[in-house]
Amino acid sequence: MDSVLLRALRHIGHRVIDGVWRLGYASRFFALVLLRSGPSFRRFPLTIREIYYAGVLSLIIILVSGLFVGMVLGLQGYDTLQRFGSEEAVGTLVALSLVRELGPVVAALLFASRAGSAMTAEIGLMKATEQITALDMMAIDPIARIVGPRFWAGVISMPLLAALFSAMGIFGGYLIAVVLLGVDAGAFWSQMQASVDLQEDVMNGVIKSIVFGVAVTAIALFEGYDAPPTAEGVSGATTRTVVTSSLAVLALDFVLTAFMFRGT
């Protein structure tokens, strides 16, 4: 006689073991992708093609979102700072928020939903229609040929998109604060330049975006490759990609921020 409690515990145990097993499997997959990265660079046009699909096609959403985020930061920042008479610091606020945090993180989240889910769906579909098996049967390693270029395309695109997001955001902040709300342009830029450090802030932001790029792309590719070869399987994998990458980005952001901005 199985009590409800026992069944629940067994179910949880099952899920945990499954999760751990899957993590191991995913790590092995990731290691394989890295090991077989040669063709992604020796035949660079393959990677270039994937940079187009992952990076270029994400430009619109990144630029527009960056602009809006920067504008909101400008608005909110001005509103709060002017209570302390420090509205001239709004440039600093916008720039630091974007360069250190929002640029890498929001760009990564947007990339995960747009490009990441597209990769998952594409590879899942290739698997479901036996195209991956066909490649394997034609003596072409599907990981080297299909997964590799997409992985490196994601890693290359992510920092570029994050930089563009931050730049657009700062421009948006400038539009709101200086053009609309009348903050002195000189003060806006000079205060910003005084507080934003190349090494501490900009470079750390770049490092973050590279780490996010690796995480988001790896998760997207794994979910696609591991998806059950059915319609529901692929759609479930796409959802999982967005959820898991988003959580991973936020968790990694915390870890990296704790390391980088200790005692600043």
Compute the distance between CA of residue 134 and CA of residue 213 in angstroms, rounded to an integer.
Answer: 29
CA distances for 58 relative to 50, 70, 123, 149, angstroms: 12, 18, 18, 17
- Residues that bind other proteins (rule: CB under 8 A) add up to a total of 51
Compute the distance between CA of residue 68 and CA of residue 62 in angstroms, rounded to an integer.
Answer: 10
Q: Is 137 in the site for other proteins (CB under 8 A)?
A: yes
Among 104, 159, 172, 224, binds other proteins (CB under 8 A): 159
E strand or H helix that includes residue 111: helix 103-111
Stretch that binds other proteins, among 23-31, 113-121, 184-192, 229-237 (CB under 8 A): 184-192
Q: Is 161 in the site for other proteins (CB under 8 A)?
A: yes
Which amino acid is it at 111? Answer: F
Q: Is 89 in the site for other proteins (CB under 8 A)?
A: yes
Q: Per-residue x/- marks for other proteins, 200-239, CB under 8 A?
A: -xx---x---------------------------------
User: Closest distance between other proteins and the C-beta of residue 196, in Å?
Assistant: 4
Q: Is 69 in the site for other proteins (CB under 8 A)?
A: no
Q: DSSP string of 22-80?
A: HHHHHHHHHHHHHHT-HHHHHTHHHHHHHHHHHTGGGHHHHHHHHHHHHHHHHHHHHHH
CB-based contact 90:173 (threshold 8 Å): yes
Site of interaction with other proteins (CB under 8 A): 45, 48-49, 51-52, 55-56, 59, 84-86, 88-89, 95, 99, 129-131, 133-134, 136-141, 156-157, 159-161, 163-164, 166-168, 170, 186, 189-198, 201-202, 206
